[in-house]
Amino acid sequence: MTEISALPLVELIGPSPRTLLHRRLWGHKGLVISVALLTLIGLVALLAPVLTPYDPYAQDLGRRLIPPVWYQKGTWVHWLGTDNLGRDYLSRVLYGARISLLIGASVMAISGLIGTTLGLAAGYFGGRVDAFVMFTTTVRLAMPLILVALAVVATVGGSLWVVVLVLGLLKWDRFAVVMRAATQQVRGLEYVAAAECVGASTHRIILGEILPNVLPHLIVVATIEAASAILLEAALSFLGLGVQPPLPSWGLMIAEGKVYMFFSFWLIAIPGTALAILVLAINMLGDGIRDVTAPGGGRA
């Protein structure tokens, strides 16, 4: 019979929660790939001025529509070629990453703040507050998002910040719905009752007890909303009612390249692929976080 005390401590009590968390995180392929991709895209956006010698706005009409290097007529001078105004396409794609990331992050922050506040309040207080929040959310959902955004941008005038504000003020619905449901689940649990018993303030219970426990849901919704905001900005800019030229928004670049796409496919293929990769990475991040934080999660 083995002496219990002879076994190393680790085998008795198992790996620490921290080790388990690390195993889960590193064991999830999608999560690792998406974090790596997003870090890469973030670095590229941040270091754009260092990575390319060209100004993304500098036109050179003598060098219009040069194809990327993998075409026969391509040149290493412009890796991804040039657009119809002779602007270096690599620089525009790299600077475009800044716009997409900025849109995703700021829309997520504004709509997240509104939606989370509404959802937490509805889930915690219930009753009339809940009825009000649910009604507001239903009204918001009934309004066709793209149409309202397009119409407001058309009257106010398109710019990066108008797009951020309009999308941020419109896209809080999913945050509200998910946070409400998650709060309702947590609301009845013992530690909330315990906090209430010791006389903790409502403010403290919501921010200190409930919010940390619904955080995984919040993060998952945040990734979905960031991805969807990026796609929406691209669609608005594509239709000419979003970010305005000469800014290198990927959606706008596809709109500008559309006329030439039959002979210069790369003009739409490059920003389109960039958008798809960024959105894919954010969605994978969300799926990964959901898998890892779910009870018994950690599936690859």
Partner 1 sequence: MLGFALKRLGLAVLVAVAVSALAFLLLRASGDVATALAGEGARAEDIENIRRIYGLDRPLVAQYFEWIGKMAHGDFGRSLYFKIDVLALVRDKLPTTALLALFSLLFALAISIPLGILAAVHPNSWIDRACLALAVLGQALPNFFFALILILVFAVMLPVLPVSGSESWANFVLPSIALGYYVAPPFMRLARAGMIEVLASDYVRTARAKGLSGPSIVLKHALVNALVPIVALAAVQLGFLLGGSVVIETVFALDGLGYLAYQSISHLDLPVTQAIVTLLSFIYVGLTLGADLVNAWLDPRIRVG
Closest CA to 153 of 236, 227, 250: 236
Residue 247 sits at φ, ψ, to 5 deg, of -55, 140
Does 6 interact with partner 1 (rule: CB under 8 A)?
no
The minimum distance between CB 10 and partner 1, in angstroms, equals 31
Rounded distance, CA 80 to CA 66, Å?
A: 8
- How many Cβ atoms sit within 10 Å of the Cβ of residue 174? 19
Residues in region 218-277 near partner 1 by CB under 8 A: 227, 231, 234-235, 238-241, 251, 254, 258, 261-262, 265, 268, 272, 275-277
The minimum distance between CB 226 and partner 1, in angstroms, equals 13
Closest CA to 20 of 298, 222, 290, 294: 298
Rounded distance, CA 236 to CA 149, Å?
A: 8
Compute how many residues bind partner 1; rule: CB under 8 A.
Answer: 41
Could you give the 3-state DSSP secondary structure of residue 263?
A: coil
Closest CA to 183 of 126, 140, 107, 264: 126
Q: In this complex, which beta carbon is closest to partner 1, that of residue 88 or of residue 173?
A: 173
Does 40 interact with partner 1 (rule: CB under 8 A)?
no
Q: In this complex, which beta carbon is closest to partner 1, that of residue 205 or of residue 284?
A: 284
Residues in region 151-190 near partner 1 by CB under 8 A: 151-152, 154-157
Q: In this complex, which beta carbon is closest to partner 1, that of residue 77 or of residue 151?
A: 151
Does 145 interact with partner 1 (rule: CB under 8 A)?
yes
Rounded distance, CA 182 to CA 116, Å?
A: 11
Instruction: DSSP for 157-215, please give it.
Output: ---HHHHHHHHHHHTTHHHHHHHHHHHHHHHTSHHHHHHHHTT--HHHIIIIIIHHHHH
Q: In this complex, which beta carbon is closest to partner 1, that of residue 7 or of residue 259?
A: 259
Q: In this complex, which beta carbon is closest to partner 1, that of residue 83 or of residue 209?
A: 83
The minimum distance between CB 37 and partner 1, in angstroms, equals 12
The minimum distance between CB 228 and partner 1, in angstroms, equals 9
Interface with partner 1 (CB under 8 A)? 135, 138-139, 141-148, 150-152, 154-157, 227, 231, 234-235, 238-241, 251, 254, 258, 261-262, 265, 268, 272, 275-277, 279-280, 283-284
